């Protein structure tokens, strides 16, 4: 944990407040970090991934000594310092050439991460044509049954989705702003042979003669082929904590309200059990209850003592 | 020409927006995401990866956009907006849920009594200035500290300074508020530490009493006593020293033991690096020389 | 007047060992006559046993000093060496620094020792090491703590501080009334 001093200015206080846990979270910030050594391929991939994430990402210009799988603490430090929850680390070594690690933190502790080796790729700059504007939410496509059947690939999918889904709290989306699509395809296989293909296209809408437009795609890059290397899945306890839905946000189930096929609303009202003893009826002297039950007894005594009191006062 | 023919002609003119997939896609429209769990074409992905991926992506995008365009829309000057449903995919939060803040005493009271907060406007009409002024802060409205003349009430002491009185009253109010805020903070920190605030306060007071009693030279012996005041026992450890004149040899021995301990600790702590390096280097060179000398001798 | 407690002895010896190292042993275990350390009004005195026994008869308020004062304990229980201990420190010194004649006066007026005034220094003196200061004619002048190790000192410019001043014999004049 970083040292947190009491803020001295109102602005500092606002910044600190913004770093505290929020009820409804918006887009996760991502950090793009270069390791001590990087290859041309992996650093351009890192840059392209950052360009897709803009403006919710920070690309570090300096190299940092980080080895996420050996020691996650430097990553956690960066995450805390920059208030970021997703970290992408590029590195290159003889043992693991063109290496990209995507890690996700919860409460500034690394929760899960996957290591992807880049087998080949074409950077965004090499594709001609219009690029999507910064800040538009991409469409996301996940192809392949391997995503369902493999636990590790499911984590990969979850990480990519978390990275690029944009502001999920927005309930409106501009239809003309749907400019690009990120398509991620998983090809299953044996351990160390699972491949993930990432392609990014711009979307062109053509007339189709119907209300819906015909979609044509044009590749805008980057196009990267990954192979899955090491991974670390989230442990159950942390995952449970991280996916807790706040009570205030959770929809309350409306009880006893039904709709029929036409859409008419039906409510059912439950009556509590009625205590007929307390029923207010017409008061008559003759019908006054005898002082038999406890309640009546108490009342009678109280009245009696009151009378006595009054009598004494008069004396 | 028949109408159906016309329609058919129109259809032929454009490419279809329909895509057929064996297993229908799953959509998470809140995240603008589609999941395609159909099996891949092994042959095509191997031989013509890029084309195959593009085809897959096009079909997928078509299906996804068909869903999005079918959503209810809202239009404004900026364009047409689709109203997205809530995201369905479970993605983890970045930070844990915020802990509920502890209520202050006033908040507790207000809740019990059903008192609700009312929004008050920032600006208030000031009768004297005949203008709207801020409710509080600098240059606030209806500030009785500003009155240039104050009527002395009949019942008041004529010599009393009415200005000072108002100032003091205000100071007192501010002080009271600060005290209450402090108390709320203390209670909150106690509860967060899992303690009963009343107990904590009690312990604090008891400690303060003991400290105040020990603060006089006589440890409170001559202080004024309250009626039935509890007797506070102050425990302090007695200092124990050796006799001034003890056996010299014994003393020397114990001093020597301590000295040895100190020296041993000091030795392990500090290594004179440069000296050590020189020594090692010197040894090595001496060995080398010795070695050479031997060789020469053998020759 | 009382003997030092174990804790006090430890603190005292730790400080002393910074200047004379293993030679503390010689102070404790003397061949000629038994000597001991005594605490009186926060000050530590090094005194022969015979004198100590005699001084017992003097009341606490009246006893001004006995033997040689080595220094005093501060209120926070740290030990501070006084210049009066110089005789013993100089006798057993581990690391020594000699100042040139032109540096003697500045040091005796309480200034740090600059590189320009440095005549000679024990080889391989580490950084922050307690050292005894001598004039070139081997007269002890005081003591201090090195600012740089011998190796580092070579590269410094002449105005750089080599030894931080802690105490010097000039204090016998300057602090005449408070020294005991």
pTM of the model as a whole: 0.60
Is the predicted pLDDT of residue C147 greater than 80, yes or no?
yes
What residues of chain B lie within 8 A of the CB of C13, using their CB?
Answer: 258-259, 262
- 3-state secondary structure at position B61: helix
Question: From the list C5, C17, C49, which residue is nearest B241 (CB)?
Answer: C5
Please give the pLDDT value at position C119: 86
Pairing of strands A257-259, A265-267: antiparallel
Residue A139 located in a structural domain: yes
pLDDT in tens, B69-119: 999 999 888 888 999 998 888 999 999 998 888 899 999 999 999 999 999
Tally the domains of chain A: 1
- Rounded to whole angstroms, the Cα distance separating B8 from B222 reads 112
Please give the pLDDT value at position A302: 43
**What's the gap in Å between the CA of A295 and the closest CA on chain B?**
29
Residue A305 located in a structural domain: no
Interacting residues of C32 by C-beta distance below 8 A, sequence separation 6+: none
Please give the pLDDT value at position B281: 67
Q: Where are the alpha helices (DSSP H) in chain B?
A: 3-13, 42-47, 49-69, 105-113, 162-192, 197-214, 248-269, 273-298
Nearest CA to A28 out of A230, A137, A167, A135 is that of A167
Please give the pLDDT value at position A149: 87
Cβ distance B210 to B232 under 8 Å?
yes
Give the B window 171-210 contacts with C, CB below 8 Å. none
Nearest chain B residue to C52, by CA = B245
Q: Would an 8 Å CB–CB cutoff place A122 in contact with chain B?
A: no
- 3-state secondary structure at position A230: strand
Q: Is chain C touching chain A, with at least 3 CB–CB pairs below 8 Å?
A: no
Nearest chain B residue to C34, by CA = B248
Sheet arrangement for strand B79-83: A172-174, B79-83, B73-76
Question: From the list A106, A161, A181, which residue is nearest B89 (CB)?
Answer: A161
What residues of chain C lie within 8 A of the CB of B251, using their CB?
Answer: 3, 36
Is the predicted pLDDT of residue B1 greater than 60, yes or no?
no
Query: What is the overall mean pLDDT for chain A?
Result: 85
Instruction: Provide mean pLDDT across the span B154-161.
Output: 89
Is the predicted pLDDT of residue A306 greater than 70, yes or no?
no
pLDDT in tens, A159-212: 999 999 988 888 888 888 889 999 999 988 788 789 999 999 999 988 887 888
A interface mutation test: which of B14, B49, B92 has the most A CBs within 10 A? B92
Please give the pLDDT value at position A308: 46
B interface mutation test: which of C2, C3, C26, C53 has the most B CBs within 10 A? C3
What is the residue range of A124's domain?
27-231
Q: Is chain A touching chain B, with at least 3 CB–CB pairs below 8 Å?
A: yes
Is the predicted pLDDT of residue A314 greater than 80, yes or no?
no
pLDDT in tens, A59-93: 999 999 999 999 999 999 999 999 999 999 999 99
- CATH class for domain C95-174? mainly beta
Nearest chain B residue to A86, by CA = B94
Give the A window 166-225 contacts with B, CB below 8 Å. 166, 168, 170-178, 181, 183, 185, 187, 197, 199, 201, 203, 205-217, 219, 223, 225
- 3-state secondary structure at position A257: strand
Is the predicted pLDDT of residue A103 greater than 90, yes or no?
yes
Please give the pLDDT value at position A139: 93
Counted across chains A and B, CB pairs separated by less than 8 A come out at: 199
Query: What is the overall mean pLDDT for chain C?
Result: 89
Q: Does domain C2-88 have CATH number 3.40.640.10?
A: no
Residue B299: band (very low, low, confident or very high) from pLDDT cuts 50, 70, 90: very low
Q: Is chain B touching chain C, with at least 3 CB–CB pairs below 8 Å?
A: yes
Q: Would an 8 Å CB–CB cutoff place C48 in contact with chain B?
A: no
A interface mutation test: which of B18, B27, B30, B32 has the most A CBs within 10 A? B32
Residue A45 belongs to a domain with what CATH number?
3.40.50.10480
Is the predicted pLDDT of residue B187 greater than 70, yes or no?
yes
pLDDT in tens, B195-212: 999 999 999 998 888 888
Least confident of A234-238, A300-304, C49-53, C119-123: A300-304
B interface mutation test: which of C1, C11, C35, C49 has the most B CBs within 10 A? C49
Is the predicted pLDDT of residue B268 greater than 80, yes or no?
no
Please give the pLDDT value at position A39: 94
Residue of B45 and A233 predicted with greater confidence: A233
**B245 contacts C13? CB cut-off 8 A:** no
Residue ranges of the domains in chain C? Answer: 2-88, 95-174
Predicted-complex ipTM score = 0.77
Give the B window 121-150 contacts with C, CB below 8 Å. none
- Rounded to whole angstroms, the Cα distance separating C45 from C159 reads 38
Q: Would an 8 Å CB–CB cutoff place A138 in contact with chain B?
A: yes
Is the predicted pLDDT of residue A313 greater than 50, yes or no?
no
Burial label for A268, CB within 10 Å (0-12, 13-18, 19+), is exposed
Partnered with residue A30 across adjacent β-strands are A57, A86
Please give the pLDDT value at position B298: 43
Q: Would an 8 Å CB–CB cutoff place A104 in contact with chain B?
A: yes
Largest CA distance in chain C: 58
Is the predicted pLDDT of residue A47 greater than 90, yes or no?
yes
- Rounded to whole angstroms, the Cα distance separating C21 from C15 reads 10
Where are any strands of DSSP class E within A2-92? 30-34, 57-63, 86-91
Residue B80 DSSP symbol? E
**C2 contacts B244? CB cut-off 8 A:** yes
Cα dihedral C170, C173, C179, C180 sign: positive
Transcribe chain C into DSSP letters: -BPPPHHHHHHHHHHHHHHHGGGHHHHHS-SSS-EEEEEETTEEEEEEHHHHHHHTTS-TTT----SEEEEEE-TTS-EEE-GGGHHHHHHH-SSEEEE-HHHHHHHHTTPPEEGGGEEEE-TT--TT-EEEEEETTS-EEEEEEESS-HHHHTTS-TTSEEEEEEEETTHHHHTTTT--
Please give the pLDDT value at position C99: 92
């Amino acid at each position: 944990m970083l040292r947190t001093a009491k803020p001295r200015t109102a602005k500092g206080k606002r910044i600190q407040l913004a770093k505290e846990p929020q009820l409804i979270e918006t887009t996760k910030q991502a950090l793009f970090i270069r390791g001590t050594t990087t290859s041309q391929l992996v650093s351009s991939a890192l840059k392209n991934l950052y360009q897709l994430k803009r403006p919710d990402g920070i690309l570090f210009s300096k190299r940092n000594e980080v080895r996420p799988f050996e020691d996650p603490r430097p990553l956690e430090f960066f995450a805390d310092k920059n208030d970021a929850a997703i970290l992408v680390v590029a590195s290159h070594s003889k043992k693991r050439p063109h290496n990209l690690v995507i890690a996700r933190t919860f409460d500034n502790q690394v929760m899960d991460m996957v290591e992807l080796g880049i087998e080949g790729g074409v950077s965004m700059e090499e594709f001609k044509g219009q690029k999507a504007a910064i800040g538009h939410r991409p469409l996301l496509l996940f192809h392949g049954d391997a995503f369902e059947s493999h636990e590790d690939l499911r984590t990969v999918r979850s990480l990519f989705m978390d990275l690029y889904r944009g502001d999920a709290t927005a309930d409106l989306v501009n239809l003309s702003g749907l400019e690009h699509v990120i398509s991620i395809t998983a090809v299953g296989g044996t351990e160390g042979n699972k491949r993930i293909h990432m392609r990014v296209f711009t979307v062109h809408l053509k007339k189709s003669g119907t209300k819906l437009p015909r979609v044509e795609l044009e590749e805008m890059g980057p196009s990267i082929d990954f192979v899955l290397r090491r991974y670390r899945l989230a442990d159950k306890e942390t995952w449970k904590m991280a996916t807790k839905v706040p009570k205030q946000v959770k929809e309350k189930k409306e009880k006893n309200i039904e709709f029929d096929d036409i859409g008419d609303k039906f409510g059912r009202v439950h009556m509590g059990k009625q205590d007929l003893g307390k029923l207010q009826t017409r008061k008559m002297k003759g019908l006054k209850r005898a002082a038999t039950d406890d309640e009546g007894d108490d009342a009678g005594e109280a009245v009696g003592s009151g009378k006595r009191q009054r009598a004494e006062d008069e004396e | 020409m028949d109408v159906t023919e016309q329609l058919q002609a129109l259809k032929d003119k454009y490419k279809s927006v329909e895509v057929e997939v064996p297993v229908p896609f799953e959509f998470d429209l809140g995240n603008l995401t589609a999941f395609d769990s159909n099996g891949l074409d092994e042959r095509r992905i191997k031989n013509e990866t890029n084309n195959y991926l593009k085809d897959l992506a096009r079909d997928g995008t078509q299906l996804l956009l068909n869903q999005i365009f079918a959503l209810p829309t809202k239009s404004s000057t900026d364009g047409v907006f689709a109203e997205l449903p809530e995201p369905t995919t479970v993605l983890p939060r970045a930070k844990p849920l915020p802990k509920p803040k502890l209520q202050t005493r006033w908040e507790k009271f207000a809740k019990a009594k059903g008192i609700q907060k009312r929004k008050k406007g920032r600006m208030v009409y000031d009768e004297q200035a005949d203008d709207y002024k801020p409710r509080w802060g600098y240059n606030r409205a209806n500030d009785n500290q500003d009155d240039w003349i104050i009527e002395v009430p009949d019942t008041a002491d004529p010599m009393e300074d009415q200005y000072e009185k108002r100032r003091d009253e205000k100071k007192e109010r501010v002080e009271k508020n600060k005290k209450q805020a402090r108390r709320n903070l203390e209670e909150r920190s106690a509860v967060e530490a899992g303690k009963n605030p009343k107990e904590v306060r009690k312990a604090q007071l008891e400690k303060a009493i003991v400290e105040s009693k020990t603060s006089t030279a006589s440890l409170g012996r001559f202080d004024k006593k309250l009626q039935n005041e509890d007797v506070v026992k102050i425990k302090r450890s007695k200092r124990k020293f050796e006799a001034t004149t003890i056996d010299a040899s014994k003393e020397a021995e114990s001093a020597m033991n301590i000295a040895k301990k100190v020296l041993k600790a000091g030795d392990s702590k500090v290594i004179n690096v440069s000296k050590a390096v020189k020594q090692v280097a010197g040894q090595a060179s001496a060995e080398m020389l010795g070695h050479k000398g031997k060789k020469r001798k053998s020759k | 007047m009382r003997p030092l407690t174990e804790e006090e002895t430890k603190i005292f010896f730790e400080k002393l060992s910074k200047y004379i190292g293993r030679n503390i042993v010689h102070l404790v275990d003397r061949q000629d006559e038994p000597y001991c350390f005594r605490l009186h009004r926060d000050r530590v005195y090094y005194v022969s046993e015979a004198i100590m026994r005699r001084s017992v008869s003097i009341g606490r308020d009246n006893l001004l000093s006995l033997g040689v004062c080595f220094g005093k304990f501060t209120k926070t229980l740290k030990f501070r060496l006084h210049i009066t201990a110089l005789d013993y420190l100089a006798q057993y010194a581990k690391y020594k620094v000699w100042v040139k004649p032109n540096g003697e006066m500045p040091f005796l007026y309480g200034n740090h020792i600059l590189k320009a005034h440095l005549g000679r220094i024990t080889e391989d003196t580490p950084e922050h090491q307690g050292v005894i200061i001598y004039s070139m004619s081997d007269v002890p002048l005081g003591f201090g703590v090195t600012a740089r190790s011998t190796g580092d000192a070579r590269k410094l410019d002449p105005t750089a501080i080599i030894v931080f001043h802690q105490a010097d014999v000039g204090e016998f004049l300057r602090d005449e009334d408070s020294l005991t």
